[in-house]
Chains A and B, each alone.
Chain A
Amino acid sequence: MVKSGTIILNTAARLLMPLQLLFSVFLLLRGHDEPGGGFIAGLVAAGAFILYLFAFGVTATKEVLRMVDPRDLIGMGLLLGTLSILPAWFVGEPFFTAQWWEIPGIDFKASTPLIFDIGVYLAVLGTLLAVIMTLMEVDKDEP
């Protein structure tokens, strides 16, 4: 296990994590027309948790994640990604055709590409967390 680090790392991790997570959401929502999107946002979010993990170890990170297992994230992400294919079917267009819905009041457009992006986000986040946590746990088992 990585020595739960120096005071600089610990403080920085605690401060950076919320910022990084916010930034990842920003990237996710910005993604459709400008640089960004689900994949890169998922990487940034995973970066936040991994930094926390390096600073405080696996057990503390699992507490931060509460009951959410990385595998649930992967499954949820894949499910959202696949479900985003289907709405086009119900309006009689070929699968994957983008559907846009204006949400009145706030100036925000919901769409199937956004659902797909959220799916990618969760799947990337889940995969990276699963890999890193497994590696860290193997590390812990050794003397």
Chain B
Amino acid sequence: MRPEVALPVIIPLLCGAVSLLFWRSRPMQRFIAVAGTLALLVVGLWLITSVSREGYVVIHMGSWQAPYGISLVADMLSAIMILLTGIIGLGLAIYSLASTSTQHEKFGFYPLMHLLLAGVAGAFLTGDIFNLYVWFEVMLVASFALLILGGEKAQMEGAIKYVTLNLLASVIFLTAIGLVYGMVGTLNMADIGQRLAEAENQGMVEVLAIMFMIAFGIKAAAFPLFFWLPASYHTPAVAVSALFAGLLTKVGVYSLFRVFTLMFDQTMPYVQDILLWGAAFTMVTGVLGAAAQYEFRRILSFHIVSQIGYMILGLALFTPLALAGGIFAVMHNIIVKTNLFLISGITNRLQGTYQLKKMGGLFKERPWLSVAFFLSAFSLAGIPPLSGFFAKFVIVRAGIEAEAYVVTAVALAVGLMTLYSMVKIWNEVFWKSLPEDNLVPESSTPSGDEGRLVKSSLGLMYLPVAILALFAVLIGVFAQPLMEMMLMAGEQLMDPQGYMDAVLGEERTVLLRDALEVSP
């Protein structure tokens, strides 16, 4: 009985239910938001210590043994993702105390946030492919409601693209699950992995691989089906965009990592080629799209797409080092990208707009905010010694070792282009003086009681920004021990047998292998 594997899902579910029950009481909801995400973070730490000690931690829900019941499985990759979910969840809960309007709170912002976190945590932990689909849907429902919170026209437009593309992905995903079940008669991912390798009809296995790739590719916003992301992520309340930017697309990336190491080995040559070139195009289109934008959050949204390319590149190169680099990129990106969105929310609070042309002068006015932005932005661009540098360094090195020179060169060039976009934001928002036609909203410089209130709420917004910026530095400083964790995760992914043994039990694995060898 290992409660720490299931608690990351149960805690947000419980908090969501309680917070819905207290829908009349705003203070209570806010308290539960912070306490619940703090508990999630603590469980995340507990889980990662267990996993680094034992390798795999498994719990069979309802005592139904695998492969018949639903198992929750944590390997190093899952544990890292859960810990990051806890960090981002807590940061956002604190931030949204100040940034979320009373009206949004009344419409159920906090219960939805808990539900979204439950969906994300469930997707990271489940060992069952259909259960993974269910968690995706939980996430989709919660994210759709969060996306249209407030009900402005731009939000609706973004939400329609978001929902349509995501539902399409869900349909493809579900169809693929049905076909897999028809082929091998099991839904447990470890069991599927064993049986697909032995399946007679390898042509069908390839088709399934492509279907899963398309479904998760859409969810992760990979080329060519990424356009729903920049169309929708800049429309909702800023805490919501930060939450989406940090966690949602990464669930798609995580699923790609999981499915293409556990269920499908990459012996099919063109699967790997598609991933490789998909990654390259994703990087380039994302960064080019960002170069043309002059809206703070739109630039950041396009950069999400571009960064997804790096992560998929790590998967496509398929060596332990490359996988470790890919996971490092996921970690770095979750922290830094969330922080950039949070900063965009503060600058919007200060200057009343997201349009770069209308902003300016913040370096003089808010030096510490500028430092936080500087650290996050240049970390995103991969400047040493910040976190992004090591992510990129490891992936590029793995790329050269794998002799994928063209894609590696693309990755390096994209880093340069990222720097261009970040410098653009830096120049426009922080460096140049405030254009005269911008009327700073009065709320930023009120006097008396209200002024103090705004000041203390700004403090709440600064706190997570400062901590996340510190993380961007610390990840760079402690790159070595972190890299060891990533390498452990990468090696676990390269050797799915360990995962299968942990889920199914070693005896059964051997029995099944013998049975399959005898039967044909």
Q: Does B204 contact A (CB under 8 A)?
A: no
What chain A residues lie within 8 Å of B20 (beta carbons)?
71, 74-75, 78
Contact A82 B23 (CB under 8 A): no
Q: Tell me the count of chain A residues lying within 8 A, CB to CB, of chain B.
A: 21
What chain A residues lie within 8 Å of B27 (beta carbons)?
none
Contact A79 B59 (CB under 8 A): no
Flag the segment in B8-16, B297-305, B420-428, B453-461 that touches A: B8-16
What chain A residues lie within 8 Å of B267 (beta carbons)?
none
Q: Which of A72, A79, A92 is B1 in contact with, Cβ under 8 Å?
A: A92
What chain B residues lie within 8 Å of A89 (beta carbons)?
1, 3
| CB of A20 to closest CB in B, whole Å | 26
Flag the segment in A7-15, A38-46, A94-102 that touches B: A94-102
Q: A80-121 CB contact bits vs B (8 Å, 1 = yes)?
A: 011101101100111111100000000000000000000000
Bound-complex Cα distance A75 to B517 (A) = 52
Q: Which of A74, A86, A94, A98 is B59 in contact with, Cβ under 8 Å?
A: A94
Contact B60 A78 (CB under 8 A): no
* CB-CB contacts below 8 Å: B11-34 with A: 13-14, 16-18, 20-23
| CB of A131 to closest CB in B, whole Å | 14
Contact A82 B61 (CB under 8 A): no
| CB of B111 to closest CB in A, whole Å | 8
The count of A-to-B residue pairs whose CB atoms sit within 8 angstroms is: 54
Q: Tell me the count of chain B residues lying within 8 A, CB to CB, of chain A.
A: 18
Contact A94 B1 (CB under 8 A): yes
Q: Does A76 contact B (CB under 8 A)?
A: yes
Contact B21 A75 (CB under 8 A): yes
Which of A76, A78, A86, A95 is the most central at the interface, judged by chain B CB atoms within 10 Å of its CB? A95
**With A93-B1, A94-B1, A95-B6: A82-B17 Cβ-Cβ less than 8 Å:** yes
Q: Does B63 contact A (CB under 8 A)?
A: yes
* CB-CB contacts below 8 Å: B48-106 with A: 59-63
Bound-complex Cα distance A99 to B91 (A) = 37
Contact A96 B62 (CB under 8 A): yes
Contact B21 A79 (CB under 8 A): yes
Summarize A's interface: helix, strand, loop or mixed.
helix
Query: Of all chain A residues, which has the CB nearest B18?
Result: A79
Bound-complex Cα distance A82 to B20 (A) = 13
Query: Of all chain A residues, which has the CB nearest B15?
Result: A82
Q: Which of B13, B16, B23, B63 is A97 in contact with, Cβ under 8 Å?
A: B63
Contact A94 B16 (CB under 8 A): no
Bound-complex Cα distance A93 to B3 (A) = 9
Bound-complex Cα distance A97 to B60 (A) = 9
Contact A94 B21 (CB under 8 A): no
Bound-complex Cα distance A83 to B13 (A) = 10
Query: Of all chain A residues, which has the CB nearest B12?
Result: A82
Bound-complex Cα distance A141 to B473 (A) = 56
Contact B62 A98 (CB under 8 A): yes
Bound-complex Cα distance A127 to B467 (A) = 39
Bound-complex Cα distance A89 to B16 (A) = 20
What chain B residues lie within 8 Å of A94 (beta carbons)?
1, 6, 59-63
What chain A residues lie within 8 Å of B3 (beta carbons)?
89, 95
Query: Of all chain B residues, which has the CB nearest A79?
Result: B17
Bound-complex Cα distance A88 to B3 (A) = 11
Contact A95 B59 (CB under 8 A): yes
What chain A residues lie within 8 Å of B14 (beta carbons)?
79, 82-83
Bound-complex Cα distance A85 to B63 (A) = 12
Contact B1 A82 (CB under 8 A): no
Contact B17 A78 (CB under 8 A): yes
| CB of A142 to closest CB in B, whole Å | 18
Bound-complex Cα distance A76 to B6 (A) = 22
Task: Name the 7 nearest CB pairs between A and B, nearest first.
Answer: A75-B21, A78-B17, A75-B20, A96-B62, A79-B17, A97-B63, A96-B61
What are 6 sample pairs from A and B whose C-beta atoms fall under 8 A apart? A75-B20, A79-B14, A86-B10, A94-B61, A94-B63, A95-B6
Sample of 8 more A-B contacts, CB < 8 Å, known A82-B17, A86-B10:
A71-B20, A75-B17, A75-B18, A75-B20, A88-B62, A94-B6, A94-B60, A95-B62
* B-to-A contact residues, CB < 8 Å: 1, 3, 6, 10, 13-14, 16-18, 20-23, 59-63
